[in-house]
Amino acid sequence: MVSYKDLGLVNTRDMFAKAIKGGYAIPAFNFNNMEQLQAIVQAAAETKSPVILQVSKGARQYANATLLRYMAEGAVEYAKELGWEHPQIVLHLDHGDSFELCKSCVDMGFSSVMIDGSHLPYDENVALTRKVVDYAHKYDVTVEGELGVLAGVEDDVKAEHHTYTRPEEVVDFVTKTGCDSLAISIGTSHGAYKFKPEQCHVDPATGRLVPPPLAFDVLEGVMKELPGFPIVLHGSSSVPQEEVDTINKYGGKLEAAIGIPEDELRKAASMAVCKINIDSDSRLAMTAAVRKVLAEHPGEFDPRKYLGPARDNMKKLYIHKIVNVLGSNGKAE
Ligand SMILES: [Zn+2]
């Protein structure tokens, strides 16, 4: 048993309470490797933003559970070395799909876990989430539950269509499960292909596709039922067009990749949404930089020469999200 407290990590409780009051949201950036982690820590340390390091089941298998624990501990020490005196860093399991996986993460230094029972019948979702909460809270680990189903693909999580969260269910769910935060479905979606072109309209000024708006009435309904309760948005990458263009210019083939407009995320962050998950955008930033270097320097085979620029490009993206979308800069001095 390794407690996250020994690794210098924090859970999400105080972080979310402050974010809701302050009208901003905490970035939850997924990571799989060292360069991503370096970029996240550098961006958070430079902007003094609380940050959630987020790992999916697939990423944990990819990176190795033991190595991850030391990477998280290293992230805290690295942040201090960068001059961030009191780093506020969470290690969070994204889309836990079983009690056993959540328990294993709690036992190996995670400070927060998500149990995603959103695909289950309501009562089974409640029972599974309650079981995880009972275990996690013994160790002061915070738990995110989910109600409603997001469309899109993320690791093993797949769904064809959205099912919006039903505001009339949220009080019962939160009361029965004791979860600390709730992921809801209001039209965000996993992956880089969040919408079909026929769902969108064309912006006459830019010629780009504009997706249908998020269901803010559902978010408002949830906020009315659960005043002051931390809400989470998954699938909230914006799919920056310049990264998609770079990828396609240098041999890639991403067709009609569409994300969530950043002004909608900014609006959500000013409301009860206090955790916004961003994964695809950093994948795009990384891939764009790698493709550009390898296309322009075909003789290059030192990984540092393409992973270094990839890291810099991701860091730029993370700082942009923190400062211009989430508003979490300066909140963890
Ligand atoms: Zn998700």
* One pLDDT digit (tens) per residue for the chain, 333 residues: 999 999 999 999 999 999 999 999 999 999 999 999 999 999 999 999 999 999 999 999 999 999 999 999 999 999 999 999 999 999 999 999 999 999 999 999 999 999 999 999 999 999 999 999 999 999 999 999 999 988 776 655 566 677 899 999 999 999 999 999 999 999 998 888 888 888 888 888 877 788 889 999 999 999 999 999 999 999 999 999 999 999 999 999 998 888 999 999 999 999 999 999 999 999 999 999 999 999 999 999 999 999 999 999 999 999 999 999 999 999 998
pTM: 0.95
Which among 248, 147, 241, 259 has a CA at the least distance from the CA of 192? 259
225 CA distance to ligand 1 middle (Å)? 23
73 CA distance to ligand 1 middle (Å)? 24
What pLDDT does 159 receive? 67
CB 152 within 8 A of CB 234: no
Classify residue 266 by burial, with Cβ atoms within 10 Å: 0-12, 13-18, 19+: middle
304 CA distance to ligand 1 middle (Å)? 30
Give the SS3 label for residue 84: coil
* Token pair 């990571």 in the structure block, residue: 31
What pLDDT does 201 receive? 87
Q: Is 263 a catalytic residue?
A: no
309 CA distance to ligand 1 middle (Å)? 27
Residues counted in the chain: 333
Beta-sheet strands, E only, within 116-208 = 142-147, 151-154, 157-159, 181-184, 189-190, 201-202
Q: Under CATH, domain 4-326 is a member of which superfamily?
A: Aldolase class I (3.20.20.70)
What pLDDT does 99 receive? 98
Catalytic option among 94, 97, 116, 281: 94
Rounded Cα gap, residues 162 and 164, in angstroms: 6
154 CA distance to ligand 1 middle (Å)? 7
